[in-house]
Amino acid sequence: MLTSTTIEFVSCGEYSSCAVSISGELFSWGDGTHGTGLLGQVSCGPWHTALVTSFGQLFTFGDGTFGVLGHGDCNSTFFPREVDSLKGLRTVRVSCGVWHSAAVVKVMEWL
């Protein structure tokens, strides 16, 4: 239960919601009938979720239709999996749409 937990961030999708506590714990709940598993920053699409760790790593999970998870295939995954193509880059924001995800990464420091 979240009654004694301080929540820092919440994101809601059409069929699921996520909350990140001030201590970095991720809580998710919603409709599990679509076969999806539902801290930095988190965004929920209707059938998939993306989260950014405090170190800038991007993880996605849920329904992989149309390659929405960014893993180079259309497979679904029930557990957060790091997006390999962004390893080594610092993800600062992520947003999930219906059949897409978008991430903003920091690629260089400007002097």
Q: How far apart are CA 13 and CA 51, in angstroms?
A: 13
Q: Does 15 score more than 80 pLDDT?
A: no
CA atoms within 13 A on the CB side of 42: 25
Which of 23-32, 34-43, 96-105 has the highest average model confidence (pLDDT)? 96-105
- pLDDT-based confidence at 105, cuts 50/70/90? very high
Domain ranges of the chain: 7-65+85-106
92 C-beta neighbours (distance < 10 Å), count? 14
37 C-beta neighbours (distance < 10 Å), count? 16
pLDDT in tens, 28-85: 777 665 554 445 688 888 889 898 887 889 999 999 999 999 999 999 998 899 999 9
